[in-house]
Amino acid sequence: MGVFCDKCDGVMEGDSGHFWFRCVKCHWVKPYSLDYMDDNTFLKNLAILIQREKEEQEVEPFRAEVVSKSQSSVTIRLPFSTFDEGEMLAYSKGSKWRYLGTVVLKGEFTTVLSDVLALSDLSEGESIYVARAETSVGYDLQLELIKKLLSGLEDSGPLVNAYLGVARGNSVALRRRAQEDARLDLSQVDDSPHRVSPVPSGLGLDSSQGEVYSRALSLREGELLVVVGPPGTGKTKVISEIAKSFAERGFRVLVASHTNRAVDNVVERLPLDYTLRVGLPERVLLELKKYLLMYRAKEALGEHYHQLEAERGKIKERLTKLLRDKRELSGLYEESKKLHGDKILLDKIQKLGFEIGGLQDELSRVSEEIDRLLLEESMKLISEARVVGSTLIKCGLSPLDRFNDFDLVIVDEASQAPLTLALIALSKGKRWIIVGDDKQLLPIFRTLYSEDTGEYGYVKAVLNELSVFSVALKHSKVKFMLTNHYRSHPEIFGFSSREFYGGRVSVVSDPVGKTLEVRGFGLFSAKPAAVFVHVKGCAEFSKPSYKNQAEVDACVEIVRRLTMLGVLQEDVCVIAPYRLQRNLIGEVLTNSGIGKVEVNTVDAFQGREKKVVVFSVTATDPRTLKFVSDPNRFNVAVTRAQCKLIVVGNAEAIMCEDSPIKHFLEYAKSINGYFEWENVS
């Protein structure tokens, strides 16, 4: 079927991996109508997009030197101890990143258990860059899933088939096959009254939370429940109670999310005796440590593990000393070469090299034995656990990749989860609960937005088709919404309730308990809790991002004044829509001795909260303001604060266009929360 331009009637050609059409005549761009794509076309475009994301991903690289390598490992020298044992690393010699291996010895000299490809590509003395590889591995898992689907959908499982069948509305065969396989149809869940389970007294759930709980406990195999959880409505509490009740009935539950924090929040509410946390937590706390799979596996192995670990420790100690000795001797040899050379030094260096190689092989042998024992014990622990918590990526990695027998899979913060990444976890279950919020941020595909499209709205239309939550919400017959907000002062969430949720979410938080304990005046007083500060700044483009120096200065001074009034640095966060603005604010705060204040982008801070949040709008021209005032992004920005929200921006620029930011400015004025920075004393 041909697609023609609405502007000039020219032919529209598909832009591979971007999910939009471009007119060959006038170059006008519009998003794909997904009715034009069959399953193969959709999956191939998605694979192109994910591959591009992988190649252009943002990483934090560290310069390293290849010190030595053995048959199974490589040792690199870093400026300081950077990576923990067990972390996966990638390396680069230029622009491409490749998988390096798993850290078995951390420190200045870091030893990595590597594969043959990496070892053959690296040479001693070579300079490389290394970085954490989990995100890159996540892309590989998605590409592997798409490859399976394209090869005939034989290994995909019923939920994957059903999701594609519903998302691609024209794929009747897929939907029929999914229903035959597992009685599954995203649009059909039996919601008759007799299916509703009662809510036990004493759980402390409100009416909307109780309704979600009772529906969840009534799920049959092959059924999916969609839950809309606006900010601060207690979704973590509901998820933990659902998981607990399923576990106590003898079922196995997998709780997964794209962030460690969301998984940690649920896990720490559950009984230790039947709950496991796979992977590394965001916060290293004693309470969470006891849930960790590796911690429990080591404890279970007992003395044998500790003996092997002691042996590995001695090897590490000896290896580190020899590596330092070799480095010092190599430096001396280079100096002596300038004069006459030194054969004795060269012989010593060569002998050290042989001994280092032998120790590396021994370290690899002991590490592999430890890994084998830990894997065996981990498999046993996972098979016995009633509740397992994991990130979506870890669901596709060893040892969790071997388990597909969960009675219930719950995916939290699903709005930001790409379809293919979420399906790695969802395909492991028999019934499913997807929790998210279509009014918050969608999946992040940084390469999808192209400057020459001219419209951020095109990208958002595509992102809605790539979000596992948006697809479920669009097609599911039964969906429930949590409707009571507990996080923020009523003046803070009152705006979002009206602007984004049509007043359907009630603010039930106690104003007294959510009032900032500070004795300031005007802008720096506890009330009003939501304010707008007009700063006459101008956004500047500094490729590839934006900055606004006037807002940097204002935000730093606001934070400084608040901390002088007694607000703890740890209770404050500054957020910005652009990474460059974030970096500038963070740098100035650190140089000003206020480095404990968290500074982040809006996207990175979704799901988080602080007592005080300062939001730098940054943008001042219509194009950039359209990005910043996107309802999903702005909703996240203004719902992170518990006690005080301070939005900093150029009111004159904002008032030129109708947008959520303009509505907030007007709201702030209505509660006497509008201030002009030049008049703030």
> What pLDDT shows up at residue 637?
97
| pLDDT for res 371 | 81
Question: Which tens digit of pLDDT belongs to each residue from 517-569?
Answer: 888 889 999 999 999 999 999 999 988 889 999 999 999 999 999 999 999 99
Ranges 108-117, 379-388, 408-417: which has the least confidence: 108-117
User: Is it the case that residue 188 has pLDDT exceeding 50?
Assistant: no
- Tens of pLDDT, residue by residue over 603-628, are 889 889 999 999 999 999 998 899 89
**Which letter does DSSP use for residue 467 in this model?**
B
- Is residue 415 domain-shared with residue 470, that is, in the same domain? yes
Q: Average pLDDT, stretch 402-409?
A: 95
**DSSP-based three-state secondary structure for 572:** strand
Residue 179: predicted pLDDT: 38
The pLDDT confidence band at residue 101, using thresholds 50, 70 and 90, is: confident
Euclidean distance between CA atoms 211 and 375, whole angstroms: 40
Band the pLDDT of 20: cuts 50, 70, 90.
low
Q: What are phi and psi of 288, to 5 degrees?
A: -80, -30
Is the pLDDT at 86 greater than 90? The verdict is no
Nearest to 185 by CA among 434, 436, 476: 476
Mean pLDDT of the chain: 85
| CA distances from residue 680 to 462, 561, 614, 644 in whole angstroms, order as listed | 43, 11, 16, 17
Mean local confidence (pLDDT), 328-341: 65
Same domain, 513 and 647: yes
Quick one: 173 and 227 in the same domain?
yes
Cα-Cα-Cα-Cα torsion 277, 278, 282, 286, nearest 10 degrees, comes to 50
Q: Which of 460, 482, 504 is the endpoint of a domain?
A: 482
Q: What integer is the mean pLDDT of 55-60?
A: 81
Residue with tokens 């899933």: 145
Q: Is residue 50 part of a domain?
A: no
Domain boundary among 106, 141, 176: 141
Same domain, 505 and 467: no
Q: What CATH number is associated with residue 348?
A: 1.10.287
Q: Is 453 part of a structural domain of the chain?
A: yes
Whether 478 and 499 share a structural domain: no
Structure tokens at 221: 């195999």
Whole-number Å distance between alpha carbons of 177 and 161: 8
Whole-number Å distance between alpha carbons of 591 and 588? 5
Query: Do 356 and 320 form a contact (C-beta atoms < 8 A)?
Result: no
Tokens in use for 324? 């330092």
Mean pLDDT of 146-168: 60
Judge whether 528 lies within some domain.
Answer: yes
Tell me, yes or no, whether 561 and 637 share the same domain.
yes
* CA 67 – CA 49 distance, rounded (Å): 37
Indicate whether 293 belongs to any domain. Answer: no
657 and 526 in a common domain: yes
Q: What is the dihedral of CA 568, 569, 571, 572, to 10 degrees?
A: 130
Question: What string of DSSP letters covers 640-667?
Answer: SEEEEEEEEE-HHHHTTS-SHHHHHHHH
Residues 508 and 652 in one domain: yes
Is 408:244 a contact under the CB 8 Å cutoff? Answer: no
pTM score: 0.86
Backbone torsion region of residue 179, taken as left when φ is above 0, otherwise alpha when ψ lies between -120 and 50, otherwise beta? alpha
Return the H-helix or E-strand segment holding 114. Answer: strand 109-114
Structural domain span for residue 167: 152-258+392-482
The predicted structure's pLDDT at residue 323 = 82
Burial track 31-66 (b if 16+ CB lie within 10 A, e otherwise): bbebeebebeebbbbbbbbbbbbbeebeeeebebbb
**Cα dihedral value 236, 237, 239, 244, nearest 10:** 140
C-alpha 464: how far from chain center? 17
Express each pLDDT in 242-298 by its tens digit: 999 999 999 999 999 999 899 999 999 999 999 999 987 766 566 788 999 988 998
CATH number at residue 193: 3.40.50.300
Contact 612, 571 (CB under 8 A): yes
pLDDT band for 22, please (50, 70, 90 cuts): confident
Tell me, yes or no, whether 639 lies in a domain. yes
What value, to the nearest 5°, has the Cα angle with vertex 96 and ends 94 and 101? 105
In a domain, 326, yes or no: yes
Q: Is the pLDDT of residue 324 over 90?
A: no
Average pLDDT, integer, range 316-330: 82
Domain co-membership, 664 together with 517: yes
What's the whole-number mean pLDDT along residues 502-510?
91
In 3-state terms, what secondary structure has residue 504?
coil
Residue-wise pLDDT tens digits, 453-493: 445 566 777 788 889 999 888 877 778 999 999 999 999 99
- Residue-level pLDDT at 317: 86
**What would the pLDDT profile of 635-653 be if each residue is shown by its tens digit?**
999 999 999 999 999 999 9
Write the CA distances from 608 to 18, 52, 605, 612, 627, integer angstroms: 30, 29, 5, 12, 21
Indicate whether 451 pLDDT > 60. no
Are the C-beta atoms of residues 584 and 547 closer than 8 Å to each other?
A: yes
Is 1 among the domain residues?
Answer: no
Give, as one character, the DSSP assignment of residue 400: G
Query: What does the alpha-carbon distance between residue 312 and residue 308 come to, in Å, rounded to a whole number?
Result: 6
Number of domains in the chain: 4
**For the chain, what percent of residues have pLDDT higher than 70?**
86
Quick one: average pLDDT of 136-147?
Answer: 90
The least confident of 254-258, 335-339, 673-677 is 335-339
User: Is residue 185 very low, low, confident or very high in pLDDT (cuts 50, 70, 90)?
Assistant: very low
- Residue 285's pLDDT is 62
Q: Could you please report the per-residue DSSP string of 277-299? A: E-S--SS--HHHHTTBHHHHHHH
Within a domain: 263: no
437 and 578 together in one domain? no
- Picking from 381, 410, 444, the residue at the C-terminal end of a domain is 381
Question: Is pLDDT above 70 for 35?
Answer: no
Judged against a pLDDT cut of 50, whether residue 570 lies above it is answered with: yes
In degrees and rounded to multiples of 5, residue 13 shows phi and psi of -110, 140
User: Closest Cα to residue 71, out of 369, 362, 353?
Assistant: 362
Question: How far is the C-alpha of 202 from the C-alpha of 179, rounded, in Å?
Answer: 38
Strands (E), 440-585: 479-481, 484-485, 506-507, 530-534, 540-542, 545-547, 572-576
pLDDT at 168: 43
- 633 shares its domain with 489: yes
Higher-pLDDT residue of 312 and 22 is: 312
Predicted confidence at residue 338, as pLDDT, reads 55
**Is-contact 366 305, C-beta < 8 A?**
no
Q: What is the pLDDT of residue 170?
A: 36
Do residues 388 and 255 make contact, with C-beta atoms less than 8 angstroms apart? yes
Structure tokens of 463?
């992102």
Do 190 and 219 fall into the same domain?
A: yes
Residue 128 sits in a domain whose CATH number is: 2.40.30
**Structure confidence by residue, pLDDT tens digits, 191-242:** 444 456 778 878 899 999 999 999 999 999 988 899 999 999 999 999 999 9
